[in-house]
Amino acid sequence: MSTTTVEAGASTWGRLGLGMLHGPSQIYFQQNVITGMLVLAAFFVADWRMGVLALIGAIGGIAGGRLFGYSLSNVASGMQSFCGTLVGAAVFAALGGDAWYCYVLALLGGIATGPVTWLVDRLFTRTPLKAYSLPYTTAPFVIVATIIALSTLPLAVDSPPSDLPTEPVPAFFISLLTNVSQVVLVDNLWSGALILIGLFIAGWRVGLAALLGSLVGSLTAIAMGEPWSEIANGLANYSGVLTAIALAVTFLKSSVGSWLYSLPWIVVTAVVTLLMHRAGVETYTWPYILTTWVALIVAHYISGLKRS
């Protein structure tokens, strides 16, 4: 993930504010205020309550990160708030935003990403796994969100019915945007467009990689016979968007080799996603996380691929 040094002269409150804005962009591995604002806007376009819960989760993430010793510069880069942002969004997806306890859970869940981040970080830096320089990425989010989802099943609300078309051609083209939005648990065409614009603002390679991941993922889902309704709403391969950005331009130095290397792993991500869906387990971004960790370990032994 991008961890560009934040301006040293920023005040404490300024760094905390930057952390709130950089957090949403770090979900897609970027440290960019405009990208972060567009991702936040995508939540509010979907539902204002989701936007509020995402912000509360981000606040919790920052608090949890600071409690476990992460520096203000690290917080300002968004590395302690992006998982909390996703936890807030996951609370909305599971429980809605009408009950008071949703907002408490978003805050506590955000705080919980602090110790989970610390533990995953230690696993990858204090064990033999350190040789592979694996990122903790969205693992703290999925661990906390899975615990929240499983422990609040009696309170779960039904997702609103999708009004997206299910005819093959429009469903396919719509999926190119909804795959992007479902990374943050949003089923909305316009939210996907906002996020994609933000990714191109962060860097044209980033935006192009997101499109590549979305395209290859949707084609894989079609080949596996996934229903067009699932393809249209982005549930078939949102994780492939992250895998593409991670391997093509983020954790490996961008090159022809890194882009080609990402292709089979995007397919693997799509397959894992669909298999997890069909097994009825909580998916979140697990397919991306597991696939990318394996891909980076394999890349360690390929001389033509260099870590960034």
d(CA 249, CA 246): 6
Question: What is the pTM (predicted TM-score) of this model?
Answer: 0.94
Q: Give the number of other CB atoms < 10 A from CB of residue 133.
A: 13
pLDDT lower than 70: segments of the chain: 1-9
User: Are 88 and 106 a contacting pair, CB within 8 Å?
Assistant: yes
User: Are 2 and 26 a contacting pair, CB within 8 Å?
Assistant: yes
User: Are 165 and 171 a contacting pair, CB within 8 Å?
Assistant: yes
Q: What is the pLDDT of residue 8?
A: 53
Q: What is the pLDDT of residue 36?
A: 97
Helix and strand totals (H; E) in the chain? 14, 0
User: Are 72 and 15 a contacting pair, CB within 8 Å?
Assistant: yes
Q: What is the pLDDT of residues 188-209, one digit of tens each?
A: 999 999 999 999 999 999 999 9
Q: What is the pLDDT of residue 3?
A: 45
- The one-character DSSP state at 203 is -
Q: What is the pLDDT of residues 277-308, one digit of tens each?
A: 889 888 999 999 999 999 999 999 999 899 98
d(CA 80, CA 22): 10
Angle at alpha carbon of residue 133, lines to 291 and 308, rounded to 5°: 90
Residues whose CB is less than 8 angstroms from the CB of residue 166 and which lie 6 or more positions away in sequence, other chains included: 227, 228, 229, 232
Amino acid at 31: Q
Q: What is the pLDDT of residue 5?
A: 46
User: Are 4 and 31 a contacting pair, CB within 8 Å?
Assistant: yes
